[in-house]
A and B are shown apart, each in its own frame.
Chain A
């Protein structure tokens, strides 16, 4: 296990975030008439325990890190490096999909999203790249829009016109 990564998680993120949240929770006690069992009580108890536990994890990992830092570091395999790069692209694509959905509408964006995720995941066969997103979109359309009557974004402008052809 990577002690440095563990230190970052248990120390920097958990300890700092929980301390900040504890500070935020302390402000809930402005509800004076409920002070003792007010809204702050429960979050403060939880955060206090998390701070103690993550502090102990941090000390343990710091000890491991300083003791073993001269030893061989964990080296990611080429497959893992490529995987990490792909994951980064998929997350960026997801972000773009979430941001663009209100403007491009559900149907157009979901097909594009699938197409590009397949490309990122190195699917090269053209029939799969075309028919898999279309087939899956049809399935989702039938389940969520036709069967469940879920309201999904229609988009704006030309995308709105396109969406209105279907729902």
Chain B
């Protein structure tokens, strides 16, 4: 294990790879700091660009982007009370009041150290949890795999928790889209309507670019945001990052440790993600605090707790992806597409067949935390000077990158597919059908369907025999609970209203 870890670092420290990690972190920081763009959009937009890279470089670039993106959301959250990414929403509560008190530099310094500490904690957890979990998963048969896929998909109830039924419908449509093309077992064409274009199925990359990137632009245009300007505020004074004293850090050690554990744990749960980790991390800090009334007034603990948690969740979210092949968040669902695009299938076998790659990803994620520590300073200065950015320029940039990226990977049909999915994504957003479950369905469909059908054949079509297998049964019960609990909670809430 130690040798694998060292080999991972040796691989990352090769000049080319180092540059890709730095580039990924830089793009992540830039996107994360910009309100309206997040790391999921970034990963989706960069997918086609990774086509020309080796699989290791591609995955390292995207992993670094993920880490950098989650960190940088705190910059506008602290400076202007506008979270750059949803993960930074809790940081606004104490970060912005600190900025108003003239302590913006200190809040940014504390947030930066918290992000690095949380990120590194997440990577350590990822490094030591992934291999044993993958070994357990190696013992799984088709029925367990199908159940695991279903469990991953039921995370949709959490991903779209505001409208769980619609989230389930969205996820089911993802599964349905995944059935388009040749049947994986008997090779029969399905939903191709006689055209050869759909024989190969729906190309994941154009679909994801359309759903996440182009659809967001359509939404902003429809809301009228493209005519206006993204006002990210105005700062009167020059901001200098100041780090709190060691004594201040030491006094928050237990709060930060709890946040880190919460972040890692929540990150591992499929579908919950870094935003929830930040919310829970902040809540625990309030609960355990001797002076809870001070939260929200601008205190260090209120900045550090959510930042430790959301960055620890980044490493956590990679655990189910690398060990089980099940994405832990919307961003990792898109990253799963990157693995598939490069001919890699995440899951327990990845650790056997591509062990050096997996450990290189761990090392790259650790290193990206160090990189964004240094990249934060110029980014903060840049954002402190920005006042207004015309959204029209961003919109055109995203649309053009989306079109060319989809064209690059799927010829003209890919581009048409991307725009169709962009329109679909726009309609879904308008009517509150969450997009992430559809993407999860699209990536998990090819895992669940063949596993389910093989399990049925192996058990001689005895469905009861399948669901009563101990691990399968347990996973299915958890899946059912994950769907029912949010729906019942919502019904209870509306009843009490």
A residues engaging B (CB < 8 A)? 1, 5-6, 9, 14, 21, 24-25, 28, 31, 34, 36-39, 41-43, 46-47, 49-50, 53-54, 56-57, 77, 79-80, 82-84, 86-87, 90-91, 94-95, 97-98, 101-102, 106, 110, 113-114, 117-118, 121-123, 128, 132-133, 136, 140, 143-144, 147-150, 152-153
30 sample A-B contacts, Cβ–Cβ < 8 Å, listed by A number: A24-B191, A28-B190, A37-B453, A39-B185, A39-B186, A42-B449, A42-B452, A43-B191, A53-B169, A79-B224, A80-B222, A83-B227, A86-B226, A86-B227, A87-B222, A87-B426, A90-B218, A91-B218, A101-B415, A106-B404, A118-B393, A118-B396, A123-B393, A132-B393, A136-B400, A143-B49, A144-B49, A144-B405, A148-B51, A150-B51
Q: Is the beta-carbon distance between A83 and B222 smaller than 8 angstroms?
A: yes
The interface residues of chain A lying within 8 Å CB-to-CB of B415 are 98, 101
Known: A31-B188, A98-B412. A83 touches B221 (CB 8 A): yes
Known: A37-B461, A98-B415, A148-B49. A114 touches B224 (CB 8 A): no
Q: Is the beta-carbon distance between A136 and B223 smaller than 8 angstroms?
A: no
Q: Is the beta-carbon distance between A43 and B176 smaller than 8 angstroms?
A: yes
Q: Give Cα A132 to B397, complex, Å.
A: 9
B residues engaging A (CB < 8 A)? 48-49, 51-52, 165-166, 168-169, 172-173, 175-176, 179, 183, 185-186, 188, 190-191, 218, 221-228, 390, 392-393, 395-397, 399-401, 403-405, 407-408, 412, 415-416, 419, 423, 426-427, 430-432, 449, 452-453, 456-457, 461
The interface residues of chain B lying within 8 Å CB-to-CB of A90 are 218, 221, 399
Closest CB in chain B relative to A127 CB, distance in Å: 12
The interface residues of chain A lying within 8 Å CB-to-CB of B186 are 31, 34, 38-39
Q: Give Cα A93 to B357, complex, Å.
A: 43
Q: Give Cα A122 to B399, complex, Å.
A: 16
Q: Is the beta-carbon distance between A82 and B227 smaller than 8 angstroms?
A: yes
Question: Per a CB cutoff under 8 Å, which of A6, A39, A102, A143 touches B431?
Answer: A6
The interface residues of chain B lying within 8 Å CB-to-CB of A147 are 52
Q: Give Cα A37 to B404, complex, Å.
A: 40
The interface residues of chain A lying within 8 Å CB-to-CB of B427 are 9
Q: Is the beta-carbon distance between B431 and A5 smaller than 8 angstroms?
A: yes
Q: Give Cα A37 to B408, complex, Å.
A: 37
The interface residues of chain B lying within 8 Å CB-to-CB of A5 are 430-431
Q: Give Cα A22 to B165, complex, Å.
A: 20
The interface residues of chain B lying within 8 Å CB-to-CB of A82 are 224, 227
Q: Is the beta-carbon distance between B227 and A140 smaller than 8 angstroms?
A: no
Q: Is the beta-carbon distance between A114 and B188 smaller than 8 angstroms?
A: no
Q: Give Cα A28 to B185, complex, Å.
A: 13
Chain A, Cβ-Cβ closest to B411: A151
The interface residues of chain A lying within 8 Å CB-to-CB of B393 are 118, 123, 128, 132
